[in-house]
Structure 1
Amino acid sequence: MKEKYPVIQGAESFYFEGNEVGILISHGFMGTPQSVRFLGESLAKHGYTVYGPRLKGHGTHCRDLEKATSAEWFQSLEEGYKRLKRKCSAIFVMGQSMGGTLTLHLANKYGDIRGIILINSALTIPSLEYLRGKSSPRWVPEGKPDIKAKGVFEITYSQAPLTAIHELQQLMEATPPLLPNIAIPVLGMKSSVDHVVPPENTVFIMKNIGSFKKNAVTLHNSYHVASMDNDKEQIVRHCHQFIQQHVYHKVYTG
């Protein structure tokens, strides 16, 4: 279904042309590519080709999100993967919060992904549990973004559609059974304090994922939206290091 509303200024997808190493970056639930743009711009400076797609129903109006499904969110990311495949010989996928959840689903489907990077990936969101099985209210007020740094503005909606929350819950529930089947190298990053997604989510993923090569990083000065928080430069450093460890030498960026 076509989205009814225009894209909010600053919430557009971004693409940076670079070498044969592609990085696909997914934002999270209620977020937009703006929330991960710093990571994309910084990694592009290392020479990588970087694409941050806008997931269906995000970055326009909450009425668009009300009609969107988790299958469409996955399709938005999958289309980004296919776009990078046409250009790149090695692809890494990175996701924050629900974006990390979608990244796990993509990794389960495409075993040729070179590595995945997870930032506060969501398997459970305790604050939304009371809405499970409910048919009302239609809209749920959205609090301030969970960011420790001062003066940071994230483009998001002021309210979340109940239908979309249920889609998110179903997506998260479907994720743990996939973990043993994923053998791709993984870098799992979690904030030590996260008021949205318990850090234990990342601990569970790293323990149960089938990957032989696992790197775990704790971010001590950021909350949930770590890509916009105090540790964002640290995230970029870890990502670049991880990519260099797992990319073929023929496309080594130096």
Structure 2
Amino acid sequence: MSEHYPVLQGAEPFYFEGNRIGILVSHGFTGSTQSMRPLGKAYAAAGYTVCGLRLKGHGTHYEEMEQTTYQDWIASIEEGYQWLKKRCDTIFVTGLSMGGTLSLYMAENHPEVQAIVLINAAVNVPEMETASQIEDARFLDAIGSDIKKLGIKELAYEKTPVQSIKEILKLMEEVKGDLSRITCPTLIFVSDEDHVVPPDNANIIYNDIRSEIKEIHHLKDSYHVATLDNDQQFIIEKTLNFIKKTL
């Protein structure tokens, strides 16, 4: 499939080699690495080794995304994790939206993960349940670029495959069912106004994980894609402080 759809400019994976502490960075559903690059650069500037992976079927064309499964997305984040493991002794995982869901998955299945940082992570999105049952359309409207800051656009698909919605629902169900397996330190960011993932997802995660160290920070001035929004610097600073604290 991929030979028909080159990776869009700005959606390429990014890698920064730094010290022996690694940060795995994952973008969200229908999005691309563009939404996470500013964070990746800031973490690299602080000296860390950073892997900003491109999830399979993302950053190319929504028809390619339609062919990918949630297991493909898990394989993508596992691949990025292996890249970091070769270079680092300690690994943090952070993600936006479905990238946050995948960060939870990594903490559930890799107890050696040092800590996770979640930005509007998704485990329960009732609107997607409804959308997945639509039978007379292959593609629905875009969900990307939910940003409050004027003039900023997310590099995301202009359509959402119904098949892909079915896949993310399976991923969320699996991850949500295993939240009690998570014991590593967890930093949760939640936008008070989010038109994609209901803000109560943050409370579900906070209450169900068994981490002794867990924090929620509310983003007052950003919508869903908070990494490109008004609270970007706040997210970077809080994350860097949290990493220092949990090392």
| TM-score under structure 1 length normalisation | 0.94
- Runs (5+) with no aligned partner, structure 2: none
Note if 1:79 corresponds to 2:83: no
Alignment of 1:1-254 (within 5 A): 2=2, 4-143=4-143, 145-247=145-247
Following the alignment from structure 2 to structure 1, what is the Cα–Cα distance between the partners of residues 96 and 88? 22
Task: Tell me which amino acid in the other structure corresponds to 1:226.
Answer: A
CA RMSD of aligned residues (A): 1.2
Following the alignment from structure 1 to structure 2, what is the Cα–Cα distance between the partners of residues 61 and 143? 15
Task: Tell me which amino acid in the other structure corresponds to 1:6.
Answer: P
Task: Tell me which amino acid in the other structure corresponds to 1:76.
Answer: S
**Alpha-carbon deviation of 1:146?**
0.8
**Alpha-carbon deviation of 1:239?**
0.5
In the alignment, which residue of structure 2 is the partner of 1:250? none
**Alpha-carbon deviation of 1:192?**
1.1
Of all paired residues, the percent bearing the same amino acid is 46
Contact 2:144 2:157 in 1 (8 A): no
**Alpha-carbon deviation of 1:216?**
1.3
Following the alignment from structure 1 to structure 2, what is the Cα–Cα distance between the partners of residues 186 and 4? 39
**Alpha-carbon deviation of 1:153?**
1.7
**Alpha-carbon deviation of 1:133?**
3.5
Contact 1:136 1:162 in 2 (8 A): no
**What is the number of residues matched between the two proteins?**
247
**Alpha-carbon deviation of 1:129?**
2.8
- Runs (5+) with no aligned partner, structure 1: 248-254
**In terms of mean alpha carbon deviation, does 138-147 or 39-48 score higher?**
138-147
Contact 2:143 2:160 in 1 (8 A): no
Following the alignment from structure 2 to structure 1, what is the Cα–Cα distance between the partners of residues 3 and 208? 37
**Alpha-carbon deviation of 1:240?**
0.3
Contact 1:3 1:57 in 2 (8 A): no
Q: SS at 2:80's partner residue?
A: helix
Following the alignment from structure 2 to structure 1, what is the Cα–Cα distance between the partners of residues 103 and 212? 18
**Alpha-carbon deviation of 1:143?**
4.8
